[in-house]
Amino acid sequence: MNSTHDIVFHALENFFIETPSWGYADTGTRFGKFHQPAAAIDMADKLADAGQVHRLTGCCPSVATHVLWDFPEPGKEAEIVALASKHGVRIGSINPNVFQDQEYKLGSVANPDPEIRARATKHMCDCIDLGKELHCRAVSLWFADGTNYPGQDSIRARKHRFEYALREAHNRLAADQILLVEYKPFEPAFYQTDIADWGMAYMMAKIAGPQAKVLVDTGHHYLSQNIEQIVAWLLDENMLGGFHFNDRRYADDDLTLGSIDPYQIFRIFHEIHFYAWERGGVYPRIEYMIDQSHNLKPKIEAMIQTVTTAQELYAKAALVDHEAMVKHQAEGRIIDAEMCLKKAFNTDVSASIGAWRTAHDLPVDPLAAHRDSGYEAAAAAERSQRRIDLGISSASSYA
Ligand code: PSV
Ligand code: MN
């Protein structure tokens, strides 16, 4: 297997990416929301939209869910699973929500109040049980915990509270489940976030137990941080559990993948292909997920754009000539080693990707196919009417 065509086919055959339920609904910034008539209103709409993305791209079979947003009423789980399957997708990662309730003002599992900590830990355990029931492998943890002012709380005590809660959660896992620990340097906490970077997430995952790994959200880094180095280190430690993909210019901007810096995503994928090449082509199991809320772009179009960009960059990164690269590295030929990456990045893979899509009965241009399908207009008409029937306002709301 060495033609561009074969390498691209092989790469795409094994590349799946999960789309987030929250990327299909109306979202905004803290300054306001711009409503879209076709935005999903409920979980049925989100699953229908995710189904449309999967139908056209063939690589998004699962949908990440946020428990309080997507499973608000207990007892509806089977209905939601059936709906997902009706739309040709399945429920993927389960995201507990320990950040939106009023009790969590001072934190969830790191809250100074033991009762609130217990409540947050119980919610995580309930989510793990839900994952067992729905056969979902990944329970993905992100905490808004932190403080806004120096002296507000003991940084070390908060660390200890986290250690305890994550061990409790880990104890609850079934043998085939994993716990993903996500980090973020700031927001909503602005002085210190309890799990602020990959080192802290790594330590917390290690303390939690062997089924816990780190989740890298590409938007959760300081400007100019070398994310591929983090990825390489986590791979080397067998601690890379998954990704939340998005792009950013300033902070956690949730811009579509590759819109600002496609070469960075390529370099991240390169580290993964390189690691697998050193292991005779055996890839580690990594949960590839998108974490974007499309504020201005049409949501399904933005998701398709993201997914096809991810496929393109993953395929390009698979083209790096590793044999030549390691030889150049060993002999100190810096430019030649670097050019192995540049050459792959600059290769036009569109014909091979198009052929792969045709071979799978998929449209060569999923975005154009979506635009031609009339899905957006039909969803806009039906959902606008439903909003009126339900008395849901579509006026902008400002915080
Ligand atoms: C937080 O910014 C985050 O990246 C977490 O993954 C959340 O689950 C997600 O965004 C949605 O709010
Ligand atoms: Mn995330």
Calculate what percentage of the chain has a pLDDT beyond 70.
Answer: 98
Q: Which residues contact 156 (CB under 8 A, 6 or more apart)?
A: none
* pLDDT tens digit sequence for 318-376: 999 999 999 999 999 999 999 999 999 999 999 999 999 999 999 999 999 999 999 99
Ligand 1 contacts CB of residue 182 (under 6 A): yes
Radius of gyration of the chain (CA): 21
Ligand 1 contacts CB of residue 183 (under 6 A): no
Distance 251 CA to ligand 2 centre (A): 12
Ligand 1 contacts CB of residue 70 (under 6 A): no
Ligand showing the shortest atom-to-Cα distance for residue 252: 1
- Please, are residues 227 and 218 in contact by the beta-carbon 8 Å criterion? yes
Atom number in ligand 1 closest to CA 219: 4
Atom number in ligand 1 closest to CA 22: 11
pLDDT of 7 over the 90 cut: yes
Q: Which residue has the tokens 């189904």?
A: 51
DSSP string, 132-176: HHHT--EEEE----EESSTTSS-HHHHHHHHHHHHHHHHHH--TT
Atom number in ligand 1 closest to CA 20: 11
As a whole number of angstroms, the distance between CA 95 and CA 103 comes to: 19
Question: For a substitution probing ligand 1, which of 30, 46, 139, 142 has the most ligand atoms within 8 Å of its CB?
Answer: 142
For residue 319 the two structure tokens come to 């083209």
Residue type present at position 115? E
- Please, are residues 254 and 217 in contact by the beta-carbon 8 Å criterion? no
Q: Which residue has the tokens 């939340």?
A: 244
Of 218, 222, 300, nearest to 264 by C-alpha is 218
For residue 55 the two structure tokens come to 């139908």
Q: What pLDDT does residue 30 have?
A: 85
Domains and CATH numbers, the chain: 4-383 (3.20.20.150)
- Please, are residues 149 and 185 in contact by the beta-carbon 8 Å criterion? no
* pLDDT tens digit sequence for 39-63: 999 999 999 999 999 999 999 999 9
Q: What pLDDT does residue 286 have?
A: 98
As a whole number of angstroms, the distance between CA 89 and CA 11 comes to: 21
Q: What pLDDT does residue 73 have?
A: 87
Q: Which residues contact 253 (CB under 8 A, 6 or more apart)?
A: 219, 246, 247
